Amino acid sequence: MAKTGVFDSDPMVIAKVTEFKKELQKLFTIIVDDDDYPIHTLDQTIHTLSALKGLKMNKRSLSFKLRQTLSSCPDEFKCPLSKELMRDPVILATGQTYDRLFIQKWLKAGNRTCPLTQQVLSHTILTPNLLVREMISQWCKSRGFESPDPVHYVNEEGITEADRDHFLSLLEKMSLALPEQKHAARELRLLTKRMPSFRALFGESIDAIPQLLNPLSASKSGSGIHPDLQEDVITTLLNLSIHDNNKKLVAETPMVIPLLMEALRSGTIEIRTNAAAALFTLSALDSNKALIGKSGAIKPLIDLLEEGNPLAMKDVASAIFTLCFLHENRGRAVRDGVVKVIMKKIANNVLVDELLAILAIVSTHQRAVEEMGELGTVPCLLRIMRESICERNKENCIAILHVICFYDRTKWKAMREEENSYGTISKLARDGTSRAKRKANGILERLNRGVNLTHTA
């Protein structure tokens, strides 16, 4: 009896269809763009189209009888979540067996309990259940079906078991000699950049990130690490932090933030830029904002901002801005000198848009307002409002001036003079964004009330 491909409609086939489509895209581009394309290009196109048609037809050929046979398989071969024959059985921390694809979906949804027992998981490592896999294989063979091949099994994100084995071997190399470390780090960097699925793999094992960081944590100082190796590891951390499900895991791995801080202080400019970008990406979570702020990472970010390298400025400013959404971090940033650094950059017309946004968010801190007064911020902001065509910048300027107006009466004179000479605040009260109008009108009312009180006196 001929064996029927029961898994012909599985993700493996879908991946093959995608591969054929990409091949067709290339062939069509050659045919359309090159008038002198070789004749074998047409033959290859026809062959690829034929193969694609065969796959599509094969996907639909699974008979009703075959489906009935599969549905009647022993319960121990069925995944408790999908209620279908398991393709890649794995054991959860509680000892229960599930199909890898479905238990991964469960874990990626944020669940940290066993679906069957409701026990809290001590870890999320999935161990292949080789015994059940072999039993399923024998059951399939006895009925004339091809059993699922775990080496070619593809999950929803395109990862095969072979990919997973390769991933683990790369992590093991991070504990070997420098040449092996450099090779493994470069490959992990490229894989996590190109394939979101490889980013997700780091969430499957509590040891994966510590293994990645082993070459950096083994050295007491970044200066003792090969720059290429440090750059690849830090960039891989950045790639990992892009994956939403990794943000908490990455930030809460004890050595991550200290190593990012070390990279900010002592790395090449590329390393420092990527470390700042990683902190920015991680700070999307409020819990991470608090963790990063408490660690002292804001100070090296401000130092790098003051240094003013064009490559790093935007990432650094983005990181500081996002971290300052947390009230406690505003105080830390002010204590670490952010106002002085920002005012110096704005006066030199550097990254004005981004730095005004940071200044607006820290202006709720009393000490920040005091420093702005000492640094001559008011005339600078009034000039930007008068000259800028950017509504966002005007809005941030008037928001800062609104706070200063309420905290520091000594700055009213400069605002009145600006208003008398140019009508800058009135123009914004009339033509600005809704928020800018509110702030501008608030300042004008305050200034007018002050004038009236003086006249009454």
The whole-angstrom separation of Cα 14 and Cα 341 is 54
Contact 292, 279 (CB under 8 A): yes
For residue 411, what pLDDT is reported? 92
287 has a pLDDT exceeding 70: yes
Contact 57, 75 (CB under 8 A): no
Question: Which is more confident, 50 or 150?
Answer: 50
- Quick one: pLDDT band at residue 85, thresholds 50, 70, 90? confident
Q: Among candidates 317, 316, 250, 333, which has minimal Cα distance to 285?
A: 250
> Taking the domains of the chain in order of start, what are their residue ranges?
11-57, 75-143, 376-456
- Quick one: pLDDT band at residue 7, thresholds 50, 70, 90? very low
For residue 222, what pLDDT is reported? 46
Please provide the size of the chain in residues. 457
Ranges 59-63, 116-120, 193-197, 340-344: which has the least confidence: 59-63
E-state strands within 75-204: 89-91, 97-99, 127-128
The whole-angstrom separation of Cα 300 and Cα 276 is 9
Please state, as a whole number, how many other Cβ atoms lie within 10 Å of the Cβ of residue 88.
25
453 has a pLDDT exceeding 60: no
440 has a pLDDT exceeding 90: yes
The pLDDT tens digits for 186-236 are: 999 999 988 887 888 888 778 899 999 999 987 654 457 899 999 999 999
E-state strands within 120-261: 127-128
Specify the long-range contacts of residues 46-51, CB closer than 8 Å, at least 24 apart: 48/20, 48/23, 48/24, 49/24, 51/20
Task: Report residue 89: phi and psi, to 5°.
Answer: -65, 135
The pLDDT tens digits for 293-318 are: 999 999 999 999 999 999 899 999 99
Maximum Cα interatomic distance, the chain, rounded to a whole number of Å: 108
Angle at the Cα of 437 from the Cα atoms of 432 and 443, rounded to 5 degrees: 125
Query: Counting Cβ atoms within 10 Å, is residue 87 exposed (0-12), middle (13-18) or buried (19+)?
Result: buried
The pLDDT tens digits for 117-170 are: 999 888 888 888 889 988 988 888 887 776 665 554 555 555 677 778 889 999
Average pLDDT, the chain: 85
- The strands making up 97-99's β-sheet, listed across from edge to edge, are 97-99, 89-91, 127-128
The whole-angstrom separation of Cα 335 and Cα 342 is 13
First-to-last alpha carbon distance for the chain, in angstroms, is: 108
Helix, strand, coil content of the chain in percent (nearest 5): 70, 5, 25
C-alpha radius of gyration, the chain, whole number: 30
27 has a pLDDT exceeding 80: no
CATH topology of domain 75-143: Herpes Virus-1 (3.30.40)
For residue 95, what pLDDT is reported? 92
For residue 58, what pLDDT is reported? 54
Cβ-proximal residues to 204 (8 Å cutoff; 6+ apart), any chain: 104, 124, 125, 126
- Over residues 65-90, the mean pLDDT reads 78
Q: What is the DSSP-derived secondary structure letter of residue 7? A: T
450 has a pLDDT exceeding 80: no
For residue 313, what pLDDT is reported? 94
Q: Which two tokens stand for residue 317?
A: 């400013």
Contact 232, 192 (CB under 8 A): no
For residue 39, what pLDDT is reported? 62
